[in-house]
Amino acid sequence: MVRRHILQAERHIVRQKDLIARLSASELPLEHAVDLLRVMYDCLQQHRNHLQRLADNS
């Protein structure tokens, strides 16, 4: 399940970066989109840390 969450988070990050690029090209505000991207990166790191802890306990 953790691996699935990591893959999903990586896909969400790619889509969010694409959205930020489109917002930027349209000269629209980026602040909330960039903030959300930071949260997504934090969640991805938490998932990776969780996977590492699981591997360490095996």
pLDDT digits (tens, 9 = 90+) for 4-48: 999 999 999 999 999 999 999 999 999 999 999 999 999 999 999
pTM of the model as a whole: 0.90
Q: What single string gives the DSSP state of each residue in 7-44? A: HHHHHHHHHHHHHHHHHHHTT---HHHHHHHHHHHHHH
The chain-wide mean pLDDT, for the chain, equals: 97
> How many CB atoms are closer than 10 A to CB 36?
14
Q: CA-to-CA distance for 10 and 4, rounded, in angstroms?
A: 10
Q: What is the pLDDT of residue 58?
A: 84
Token pair for 49: 């840390």
